[in-house]
Structure 1
Amino acid sequence: MKNEFKDLIVYGDHKFSIKKAKTDFTGTYSKEKAKDALIKSKIEVNQLQERLYASDTHSLLIIFQAMDAAGKDSAIEHVMSGLNPQGCQVFSFKVPTSEEYEHDFLWRHYKALPERGRIGIHNRSHYENVLVCKVHPEYILNEKIPGVSELKDVNKAFWKQRYESIRNFEQHLIANGTVILKFFLNVGMDEQKQRFLDRIDDPAKNWKFSSGDIKERALWDKYMKSYEEAINETSTADAPWHIIPADKKWFARLAISEIIEDKLKSLNLKFPVLGEEEQAKLSETKLALLNE
């Protein structure tokens, strides 16, 4: 992996500062150079996906978190377009349903995990429970957790326990063969404003805009604080966060693809090798077909 992409990783051995993270970083790439590099990377990822499926030993969970209009949907569309749909599944998590509220906060995410050999993409994820819920702690009361019946119960000790639950959840998955890649698409406030305006001005994009987006934008500083704390609390050696500068979508897509490619290569996956008996059967079958 190129150093400019390595620098985007937060391993947990140092504190991440969201104020110091550039949203418009593009490294040494121009837009055209990045497009060419993305094409090559997607071809590599496609070939590596086939090995992942054939080996049937690991699964890959890709998590996308971001503020509204940061480009999660388009990143998934462009970066994953070269994958075999049979080995890939995408889940977009909205407000929990009444059934989901009857279970612990990880239940619906556990149900959506990819099987061995497959790639699972979570557009928003279990991290909403320490991001949106951190900004709107009143949502926690819907979970009906014993001992948490008032807002004063959603305190530092509560969040400490929730971060620990997430770390333990991810460590359990990793120990059982699931590789986790966590991406925070870091868009600047000015860029988000422009993208909102573009959605309003373009009738074809009106459906993407919600008046609620503006209400959440007014809470920008609270969200940034929540992201910074969540990233610092849950970045580990095995499941680090990747902070993707998202003002330039073309760079964000390349960075994501390169990181996925590098992670799959690091698994050193091999195609299964048939035993001598099965090899002999292949030879017999080939001979039979040729003699038809």
Structure 2
Amino acid sequence: MKFKIPKTPAVRVKGKSFRLAAVDPDAATPFAHKRLSAEAAQPRLLVLRQRLCVLQEMLYAEHKRSLLIVFQALDTGGKDGAVKNLLTGVNPAGVQVTSFKAPSEEEMSHDFLWRIHARTPTKGHIGVFNRSHYEDVLVTRVHGLIDDKTARQRFEAINNFESLLTRNGTLILKFFLHISKQEQAERLQERLDDPSKNWKFDPNDIKERAHWDEYQHVFEDALRHCSPDSAPWFVVPADRKWVRDLAIIEIVVAALEDMNPKPRPVNFDPKQQVII
């Protein structure tokens, strides 16, 4: 990763000493130092969205490289909202969004990365993973489907897999949307209280919430072991949705600016073309 990371509340995971508990889910600094608020951040968001649209078009026209954006979070962490806000206004022809659910019987008959590789972005595209291959070192560990030794082997496989992608022209950015336990409780209750949001509620979310500490541990372990410079993890404080959205798009735009995609040269002289 060569691009200069903009100053946001997001924390770049670097090294085995990283502590998830050290990141405040409600943090807004340095945005707060700029006197930004949910309303005051809108002009900046608009500018970044417009720039993202231009860069995405150039990436599509270049057709040599791609960008993969991975989102992971606990239940109610805001993955859907983050994806929606990031891609607002972007040409859908140049974007591939994949939401990974529980693997099918066929997928379970292959290695855990088989279904993932098929969904990586093609040249010229931005690929977005709403959940990802990391589910296979998170949920599986919490529920005892794999042991720590298998998890370590999968960390190695993930690093090798992501290295293969980067060597073939895919830039990878990974975002963990970090919410507090209290914020999760409030969002779950809101889904119960608002009839228009009842469909979002899953009783299993309460069962998973009982494993909060275990999930914090396995997330931290995965972030520590799978955040090389070529495919970094960013922990995004996500209790405030506007902070989450602004931090993510700041980083994505900075990464694409550094890629500096250029349209492929045409094999004709435009000045010699006559429209009859």
Shorter-chain TM-score bucket reads over 0.9
> Is residue 284 of structure 1 aligned with residue 272 of structure 2?
yes
> Superposed, which structure 2 residues align to 1:141-290 within 5 Å?
154=147, 156-274=148-266, 278-279=268-269, 282-286=270-274, 289=275
- Residues 208-248 of structure 1 deviation map (CA, whole Å, 9 limit, x = unaligned): 00110000001000000000000000011111101000000
- Offset of residue 158 of structure 1: 1.7
Residue 63 of structure 2: which of 45, 56, 61 is its match?
56
One-letter amino acid matched to 2:171: V
**d(CA) in 2 for partners of 1:78, 1:157:** 38
1:114-156 deviation per Cα after TM superposition (whole angstroms, max 9, x unaligned): 1000011110000000111110123x5xxxxxxxxxxxxx3x3
SS of 1:242's equivalent in the other structure is strand
Alpha-carbon distance in structure 1 between the residues aligned to 2:215 and 2:195: 29
Tell me the TM-score normalized by structure 2: 0.93
Alignment partner of 1:38 is 2:45: yes
Q: What does the per-residue CA deviation read over 1:47-68, in whole Å, with 9 as the maximum and x for residues that have no partner?
A: 0001101111111111000001
Larger Rg: 1
Offset, 1:160: 1.4
* CA deviation map 1:62-105 (0-9, x unaligned): 10000011111011111111210001011111110001011100
Gaps of 5+ in 1: 141-153
Aligned equivalents of 1:16, 1:87: Cα separation in 2: 35
- Offset of residue 14 of structure 1: 5.3
Report deviation, 1:159. Answer: 1.7
Does the Cα contact within 8 Å between 2:100 and 2:130 map onto a contact in 1? yes
Matched residues, number: 267
Determine which structure has the larger helix proportion and give its number.
1
Quote how far apart the aligned CAs of 1:202 are. Answer: 0.3
TM-score, scaled relative to structure 1 = 0.88
User: What is the rounded CA distance, in whole Å, between the counterparts of 1:252 and 1:220 in structure 2?
Assistant: 21
Q: Which letter maps to 2:44?
A: A
Name the counterpart of 2:128: 121
Partner SS state of residue 26, structure 1? coil
Cα 1:239–1:92 change in 2 (3 A) is: same
Runs (5+) with no aligned partner, structure 2: none
| RMSD, aligned CA | 1.3
Task: Provide the residue aligned with 2:27 in structure 1.
Answer: 25
Q: Name the residue aligned to 2:6.
A: 2
SS in 1 for 2:124: coil
Q: What is the Cα deviation at residue 33 of structure 1?
A: 2.1
